[in-house]
Structure 1
Amino acid sequence: MESNTQEEISVEDEAVDKSSFKTCNQIAFYRRQKHLCPGKSLYRALLDTVELSDSSVKFQIINEECKVPLLVEIYEIEGSIFRLKVNEVAPLKPRYQVPDVLIKEPVSLRLTISQKDAGKLVLSCSSEDQQLHITANPFQMQLVSKSEIVLSMNTNGLLYFEHLQHLPQIRESTLQKRADGSADSSEENQEDLGLWEEKFGSFLDIKASGPSSVGLDFSLHGYEHVYGIPQHAETLLLKNTSDNDVYRLYNLDVFGYKIHSKMGIYGSVPLLLAHKPDRTIGVFWLNSSETLVEIATKAAAEADLSRTPELPKQRVLPQTDVRWMSEGGIIDTFILMGPRSFDTFKQYAELTGTQSLPPLFSLGYHQCRWNYEDENDVKEVDAGFDKYSIPYDVIWLDIEHTDGKRYFTWDKKKFCSPVRMQKALMKKKRKLVVIVDPHIKVDPQYAIYTQAEGKGYFVKDRTGKDFKGLCWPGLSSYLDFTNPSVREWYADQFAFKNYKDSSEILFVWNDMNEPSVFRGVELTMQKDAVHHGSWEHREVHNLYGFYQQMASAEGLIRRSGELERPFVLTRSFFAGSQKYGAVWTGDNRADWSYLKISIPMLLTLSMVGISFCGADVGGFIGNPSPELLVRWYQAGALQPFFRGHANMQTKRREPWLFGKENTQIIREAIKERYSLLPKLYTVFYLLPFHRPVWVEFPKELNTFGIEDEYMLGNALLVYPVTEPKATTVDVFLPGSQEIWYDFRRFRRLEGQGTLKIPVTLNSIPVIQRGGTIIPLKTSVGKSTEWMTDVPYELHVALDYKETATGELYLDDGHSFQYLHKKQFLLRKFTFQECVFSSRCADEKGQFHTRCVVEQVLILGMKRQPSSVMARIHDGKDKAVVFTYDAKSSVLTLKKLSLNISIDWEIEIK
């Protein structure tokens, strides 16, 4: 039945219970580090200990108060990257160093010493215009490029390093009594025990090696615009922090998270980017324990330092100070020197990997709900998309599809024939995604549990027993994905022989993997739980979801004989998660403010390498109004991961339930997504998928804070409408020499800067940049697989020089043959001097297709041609049918039938 009576949820309803989560002042290592005030550092470099090798420079520094020496290692890495590591010289036991995130051990270049004396060490780099300056007392480091300081470390003297300690016997006895709940307050010495335990609510965290936090400050010279460090429901530009209000990187299950908050939510990527008109740099803090980040930006100012008018004024440069504080591990940080934003993106990808190329179907529309009730429900929803002529690719099943929340099983009453259901979807060339969470129901009759329990594959508590906590199945144990053997075993569970009634069209959704523990401390696992290698959970917490997604992706690859690309969506993530699949922004709300904040949240994820990201269309919690739902579909259709999803308490909201007019608008938004799939797939190959406007216009100050519009690749500017009852929006068009065209109407937009553009409910502003060429499909099918041989249409938007360029990437859309056997095509289209050409852009590509370019639209063509001729390489010329619209200056070339995989050109006279 159609309905337009949906009501929006109030943001105040079901507000986040703040008492469940710590404030910064309730975090012990933050309080300790805050006792260290900016000033002269306690650390002095011992330059007489300098050791120079082919790969690094090493020396010791010493704390003048406690006299504990630390080892400093400095590396220059290929591609203009610097690495700084600080560790104890002789720790009582190894300190945690994050494994598996870096795709390989970086190749180091040889640093040379150009100056060394008692107080200073100068290192020259492979690039002659870059040096490292190390000051001995106090210990500081500066990165100098072209005689200008780009970045300095420990400038404010906030280097902090707590060394591991022995736990005295008397304290050990007392702590054990406290853990057992048998300690009497009279026998406690809070001053003695405060460093060895931490209490929050009823939870006691025993620190086996005492306090072990680390911290370091960085000064970014000349920068006042900084970005990154997701995940937070915050603005694109990072804000200055204050005491007890700093950016927290700690993966937590926060249902209906608060807007404009720095509290940690589902994932963490400790990468911060800084940008100014002539340079972009990055600071990557490789630490998987709880991390807090302080930011203090001093804006640029003009200061007249002389009363003499003939003397020039001196410009005071802006500066941003960034302080990183982590609970454990070592200091392991990478400085990405850019200088361009795309250089910085590449440098980070060289360390942590690129976004995995998704299978083409996963770029289509996904329909999800907690929960589709049974097989008949799935069948009816699937049929509804066909009835209303709405394309879609994937239907999803949440936790209720399982046998009592036992993952890798089916509820045989509701899903009595999963194979039949999947075959029906397969016939329509559609896929199924099912949820597979990390908690395992404690049940001796459940094979997954008994196998894992017998092999010792669960995380342990501090006493060595399997950690147990409440989650969806009830009492659960949690797989220790940090253990390679567990990941191997887990990957095998996706094999058809193990995952009964699964098929090749079944893919995976990892949820609740922060990990979420109902009634746990901050709704997650206690930090003194123990993982493989005897590492405490505090060290690996932010890696837990990363490892589950890794194992799930490997399972799907192994299931296919390493032939098919996997699709795995994860809620919890870390640096490097982009290698294994997609990410979404979690439990958002059906409110305009959540639609609006989703844009900077997704842009931030994209900037730190996780390009395949999305937000639940319509909002997971609550009931959106028809207008909000329409606007969210329009926004989601032009974002990387496109899924409609809703809580089980919400009213049904399939796209056809909101009246004919709204169904039509939603249908058109989804169909436009499908027509743009050639462009979207190409952008995924070239990366990043969508970008803040400043990335494409790095010298324009007006773009640095823009977060309500973005660039899809380099060609389309998208402005989602995020306010109710909007009739106009203010769109900023950058570039004094740029020409911009309405993507749908093909007309040139007049004016520069901020334009007031009228909007109706039917669409949102999508604007093509002059000088670009966009490939589209001429028609849309029921799903992506129906569109393989559908012809292409190219939209050529001319710039002020009457030129344009663009690319098309193509492969089979599902296998790894593009990697293993170079089965791909990368074509480059060029329009120059009235000749439109298609050429191979990568000679390694060997893919062939029957698909053709059927039509070309050239926007901004100032005259009607007298003739148009097409010339295929080693072929004959043929006349081209064309029309010219003088009013809109659009030339349309028709009935071309030019194969996409061969060279050809079209000459316009």
Structure 2
Amino acid sequence: MWWQLVAATALLSAARAVDRNNFKTCQQSSFCRRCRAVQEGRSPYKLLLDTLQADANSVHAHVVNTENSVLFTFQLYALTDDTFRFKINELSPLRPRYTVSQHVLDREPRLARLEVTERTPDYVVVTAGPNKVQLFGAPFRLDFYSHGTLVVSANARGLMRFEHLRSKPQQKEGEEGAADAAAPSQDAADTDPGAWEENFKSFHDTKEFGPEAVALDFSFVGAHRAYGIPEHADSFALKSTKNTDPYRLYNLDVFEYELHNPMALYGSIPFLVGHGEGHTAGVLWLNAAETWVDIANTVDQNVVSSIVSFVSGAASSPQVDAHFMSESGIVDVFVMLGPAPHDVFRQYTAVAGTTPLPQYFSIGYHQCRWNYNDQDDVRQVHGKFDEHDIPVDAIWLDIEHTDNKKYFTWDKVKFPDPTDMVHNLTAKGRKLVLIVDPHIKRDSNYFLHNDAESNGFYVKTKDGKDFEGWCWPGSSSYLDMFNPAVRQYYASRYRLDNFHGTTNDVHIWNDMNEPSVFSGPEVTMNKDCVHHGGWEHRDVHNVNGFMLNMASYEGLLERSNGKLRPFLLTRAFFVGSHRYTSVWTGDNMAEWGHLKITIPMCLSLSIAGFSFCGADVGGFFKNPDPELFVRWYQAGAFQPFFRTHSHIDTKRREPWLFDENTMSLIREAIRKRYSYLPYLYTLFYELETSGRPVMLPLWAEFPAETPTFDMDDQYLLGRSLLVHPVTDAGASTVSVYLPGADTLWYAVDSHQKYVGGGTVQIPVTMSSVPVFQRGGSILAKRERVRRAAILTLDDPFTLVVAVDRNNSASGTLYIDDGESFEYRKGKHLYLSFVFDGKKLTSRSLDAGQLPSRTWLERVVVLGWSSGAASALVESRSVGRVTVETTYDQASQTLTVRKPGVSMAEEWTVSLQ
């Protein structure tokens, strides 16, 4: 049957590099072709200033397309925290247009006071606090000013396009291609052969509602580079697309993706950050349809920006121009005015939400493979971790654990007693993670299929039938997660009395949720499929994975009656997905280039709100040699999500299957990760409370240092650690840029001190990873080796104090039970540490309280120029106690041994 041929072809594709012919170019996409063909400086759109009305928080007006007299509504809102939002929609559409904000925003944005401060025949100025927007009439343009400085301009290049909904042109007898009188006038959308139906390879896309693309350009004035719009396997700083396809945002299942091109991958976040020496700003293009983004950069092109020259009179200024083009929907844009990088990160997460604090185990090390063979295999694998004294927190099972790819079931031969398997793991402090994919096997003996079919829960074809595609189970249909009843039903599948063999210590992995359809166009669902509410799949494609994640998260939350934090991993994502799930970068390869690309890919995700990011350690496809494998473990140990994973056709690669030296180096990397878990956990807490990414580009902390703007090979983990993984074969040295002319940096292994403001050559061996602690920081570690993270929660802490030029430092530490939501009720500790050159002080930063047996085992002061005879420790429980110190002159390291104070109370340690 042809189904079998399609499946075989899909499986074979896993064994070779991606076939780009299976995926569209912009030229093969009719709406991208039309939008990209718009000429600069000829915008027909006019803001009718005489229709403008204002209230306390917004202004409203009409926009007209002067070529066809179609009217649009324009709304501009002032939001709190230096952010504006504007929407453009048809005034009288033939049917409603899809708005994705109803699903993905964390909450309704808080409005700020806005007032009209200037009116002229040509423009209107509205002001909100220190910011203003200048609205130009003809041609329509919006200029956004931050504290008097122009930072973002919309439609400055005149590339706006809004294809109004229209009736299909009817051919008159003898007149081929004549337009129907219902259409106000002809334009490119009326004559484009792909406007009403489109073919790609053997697939035919019927477009019942015709052309409905929207597009708009944005100029980031003063920006050297632009970043974001994940997901792409490309450089962190976005490249000019003048001679290439635009960056594409269209969630797709791409085997063995290529590096350094703008092809679409598994997820889409249409958020762009423009950064320059003096300012940072962000633009969120809130649209869930297929989207292409052109980038132009005056720094690369060595041309003077006409926008800057026209608006500000500047002779020369860097600028990044972006052009967003989407197939359907409306224009819904958030403009975040910074001015600093961390301001933009906060402003974005105020709209999209922050990541809830994950369970403590989830930031440990995860062991995964497609597939562990059976229950005995799982037992042996986690037993070997103990035998070789390597920490691990979760064992993962891929699709082969199920009964013939029927999710929420078990293969009864391979996994006859899954509850016992789970208990064997949890007895050692570990968890189990199971894969649950969105394709539902069409099998009359499968309860989930029968329930979905009888209740009408599947996505429909354009003809109203259940959509049927081909994926791992064979013939499959897909639950329509846009239907609230379907989401509620799906969430209920995770209840312990429904999902037999699971416990609250079993967590979930949503894969293939782009959705992947082996038999579909571009390996995904046909665009003319129909979802709940009558929305075509073309309208909602990029948010499909988000909806599955939301239902899965709710199911895991309800499973524990809201007590335990769910852990979930996804491949597909959209704006706001980070509120529910972690992410990995998909089907990479065991190659050095794929190791290198993990850094820019995760940085792009991090600045777009998705900090809980990692890559398949070792590469999903192919077999890594020992050197690559070790270097990937060392890199993964300092990324937020740390999991190894591999394809079913690769060699087994558990650490003990390599030689003793390789295994020892892997063990060392994993143990180092575990020593830093308190610091990482604190960063995740501060991510939830402040929106500050866990993984940061250097320019986030050193915004004026232009050498950092193009860096792809190093990053900051929080504000205190600079990480430069070794990503080249046979490397004996690594060039590390240490930012900040007045900043001190300390190698975390040798404690050697460096002065920032330039590049240093760091010798490396196979056991070394260039990681540096920032002078002026204090971070907490736990240095006792345990088999799993949860077993360390009562272990003592070591505080590493890295002094700055003033011999001072500060830092924070967050502690809770590691798994529940009780921390939101005040059952936690959030501590501040301050060292003033003589005295280290611990104080509580909030009213949180937590009975805790943890205590302070050691204080290590880096960069201390002379020894101290002793240290005086003072706290309520210990009183006043003098303890010993040691000093290493060579590394200028002072160690205070066993202060013994409880971390749950305030205390001081004074050097004598």
- What TM-score do you get using the length of structure 2 for normalisation? 0.93
The residue number in structure 1 matching 2:788 is: 783
Distance in 1 (CA, whole Å) between partners of 2:258 and 2:890 is 49
Aligned residues with identical type, % of pairs: 48
* 1:793 is aligned to 2:794: no
Distance in 2 (CA, whole Å) between partners of 1:391 and 1:872 is 34
Determine if contact 1:356/1:581 at 8 Å carries over to the other structure. Answer: no
- Structure 2 vs 1, CA of residues 417 and 314 (structure 1 numbering), >3 Å: closer, same or farther? closer
* 1:140 is aligned to 2:150: no
Q: Pick from 820, 823, 827 the counterpart of residue 823 of structure 1.
A: 827
RMSD of aligned alpha carbons? 1.9
Distance in 2 (CA, whole Å) between partners of 1:866 and 1:891 is 10
Determine if contact 2:742/2:756 at 8 Å carries over to the other structure. Answer: no
Q: Pick from 58, 70, 74 the counterpart of residue 56 of structure 1.
A: 58
SS state of the match for residue 880, structure 1? strand
Determine if contact 1:300/1:318 at 8 Å carries over to the other structure. Answer: no
- Structure 2 vs 1, CA of residues 64 and 439 (structure 1 numbering), >3 Å: closer, same or farther? same
The residue number in structure 2 matching 1:434 is: 434
Shift of 1:549: 0.8
Distance in 1 (CA, whole Å) between partners of 2:138 and 2:790 is 65
* 1:722 is aligned to 2:730: no
Q: Pick from 684, 689, 695 the counterpart of residue 694 of structure 2.
A: 689
Determine if contact 1:301/1:315 at 8 Å carries over to the other structure. Answer: no
Determine if contact 2:146/2:339 at 8 Å carries over to the other structure. Answer: no
Letter in 2 for 1:394: A
The CA deviation string for residues 758-808 of structure 1, in whole angstroms up to 9 with x for no partner, is 000112111111111110113020001221211111111111000010110
Shift of 1:866: 3.5
The residue number in structure 2 matching 1:184 is: none
The residue number in structure 1 matching 2:3 is: none
Determine if contact 1:303/1:315 at 8 Å carries over to the other structure. Answer: no
The CA deviation string for residues 599-643 of structure 1, in whole angstroms up to 9 with x for no partner, is 110111111110101000000000000000000000001100000
* 1:113 is aligned to 2:127: no
Q: 5 Å matches for 1:353-392?
A: 353-392=353-392
Shift of 1:314: 7.2
* 1:811 is aligned to 2:816: yes
Letter in 2 for 1:158: L
The residue number in structure 1 matching 2:184 is: none
Q: Pick from 870, 878, 901 the counterpart of residue 881 of structure 2.
A: 878
Distance in 1 (CA, whole Å) between partners of 2:57 and 2:315 is 39
The residue number in structure 2 matching 1:42 is: 44
* 1:832 is aligned to 2:829: no
Q: Structure 2, unaligned stretches of length 5 or more?
A: 1-12, 173-188, 305-312, 688-692
Distance in 2 (CA, whole Å) between partners of 1:427 and 1:192 is 64
SS state of the match for residue 657, structure 2? coil
The CA deviation string for residues 42-86 of structure 1, in whole angstroms up to 9 with x for no partner, is 011211111212231010111111110111100000111100100
Distance in 2 (CA, whole Å) between partners of 1:474 and 1:799 is 61
- Structure 2 vs 1, CA of residues 123 and 884 (structure 1 numbering), >3 Å: closer, same or farther? same
The CA deviation string for residues 133-187 of structure 1, in whole angstroms up to 9 with x for no partner, is 111111111112343321111111111000111236779xxxxxxxxxxxxxxxx
Distance in 1 (CA, whole Å) between partners of 2:82 and 2:192 is 46
Q: 5 Å matches for 1:714-793?
A: 714-749=719-754, 752-793=757-798
Distance in 2 (CA, whole Å) between partners of 1:866 and 1:515 is 65
Shift of 1:738: 0.9
Distance in 2 (CA, whole Å) between partners of 1:692 and 1:528 is 40
Q: Pick from 899, 905, 908 the counterpart of residue 905 of structure 1.
A: 908
Distance in 1 (CA, whole Å) between partners of 2:149 and 2:564 is 49
The residue number in structure 2 matching 1:336 is: 336
Determine if contact 2:228/2:605 at 8 Å carries over to the other structure. Answer: yes
Determine if contact 1:300/1:317 at 8 Å carries over to the other structure. Answer: no
The residue number in structure 1 matching 2:185 is: none
The CA deviation string for residues 461-511 of structure 1, in whole angstroms up to 9 with x for no partner, is 000000000000000000111112111110000001111111121110000
Letter in 1 for 2:833: F
The residue number in structure 2 matching 1:177 is: none
Distance in 1 (CA, whole Å) between partners of 2:69 and 2:260 is 42
Deviates most, 281-290 or 36-45 = 36-45
Determine if contact 1:793/1:856 at 8 Å carries over to the other structure. Answer: yes
The residue number in structure 1 matching 2:30 is: 28
Determine if contact 2:146/2:337 at 8 Å carries over to the other structure. Answer: no
Distance in 2 (CA, whole Å) between partners of 1:82 and 1:74 is 7
Determine if contact 1:220/1:320 at 8 Å carries over to the other structure. Answer: yes
Determine if contact 2:742/2:755 at 8 Å carries over to the other structure. Answer: no
Letter in 2 for 1:354: T
The residue number in structure 1 matching 2:891 is: 888
Shift of 1:409: 0.2
Shift of 1:35: 2.5
* 1:861 is aligned to 2:864: yes
Letter in 2 for 1:836: L
Shift of 1:191: 5.3
Letter in 2 for 1:777: R
Shift of 1:342: 1.0
Determine if contact 1:300/1:316 at 8 Å carries over to the other structure. Answer: no
Distance in 2 (CA, whole Å) between partners of 1:296 and 1:497 is 55
Shift of 1:699: 1.6
Distance in 2 (CA, whole Å) between partners of 1:34 and 1:225 is 22
Determine if contact 1:302/1:316 at 8 Å carries over to the other structure. Answer: no
Q: Pick from 118, 123, 128 the counterpart of residue 126 of structure 2.
A: 123
Distance in 2 (CA, whole Å) between partners of 1:599 and 1:302 is 28
SS state of the match for residue 682, structure 2? helix
The CA deviation string for residues 872-893 of structure 1, in whole angstroms up to 9 with x for no partner, is 1486211011111222211110
The CA deviation string for residues 199-245 of structure 1, in whole angstroms up to 9 with x for no partner, is 10111111111100000011111112110000000001000112551
Q: 5 Å matches for 1:507-906?
A: 507-687=507-687, 688-749=693-754, 752-819=757-824, 821-843=825-847, 845-873=848-876, 876-906=879-909
Distance in 1 (CA, whole Å) between partners of 2:37 and 2:529 is 28
SS state of the match for residue 683, structure 1? helix
Distance in 2 (CA, whole Å) between partners of 1:486 and 1:684 is 32
Deviates most, 223-232 or 881-890 = 881-890
Distance in 1 (CA, whole Å) between partners of 2:333 and 2:567 is 31
Deviates most, 623-632 or 234-243 = 234-243
The CA deviation string for residues 633-685 of structure 1, in whole angstroms up to 9 with x for no partner, is 00001100000100000000001111000110000100111111100100111
Determine if contact 1:358/1:581 at 8 Å carries over to the other structure. Answer: no
Q: 5 Å matches for 1:136-285?
A: 136-167=137-168, 194-242=194-242, 244-285=244-285
Distance in 1 (CA, whole Å) between partners of 2:812 and 2:671 is 22
Q: Structure 1, unaligned stretches of length 5 or more?
A: 1-10, 172-188, 305-312
SS state of the match for residue 671, structure 2? helix
Distance in 1 (CA, whole Å) between partners of 2:467 and 2:85 is 36
Determine if contact 1:329/1:539 at 8 Å carries over to the other structure. Answer: yes
The residue number in structure 1 matching 2:408 is: 408
Determine if contact 1:271/1:608 at 8 Å carries over to the other structure. Answer: yes
Distance in 2 (CA, whole Å) between partners of 1:481 and 1:48 is 43
Determine if contact 1:287/1:330 at 8 Å carries over to the other structure. Answer: yes
SS state of the match for residue 407, structure 1? coil
SS state of the match for residue 84, structure 2? strand
Shift of 1:254: 0.3
Shift of 1:91: 0.5
The CA deviation string for residues 852-882 of structure 1, in whole angstroms up to 9 with x for no partner, is 0111111111112233211114862110111
- Structure 2 vs 1, CA of residues 599 and 583 (structure 1 numbering), >3 Å: closer, same or farther? same
Deviates most, 239-248 or 481-490 = 239-248
Shift of 1:705: 1.3
Shift of 1:848: 2.2
- What TM-score do you get using the length of structure 1 for normalisation? 0.94
Distance in 2 (CA, whole Å) between partners of 1:282 and 1:413 is 53
Distance in 1 (CA, whole Å) between partners of 2:707 and 2:657 is 41
Distance in 2 (CA, whole Å) between partners of 1:62 and 1:240 is 31
* 1:101 is aligned to 2:104: yes
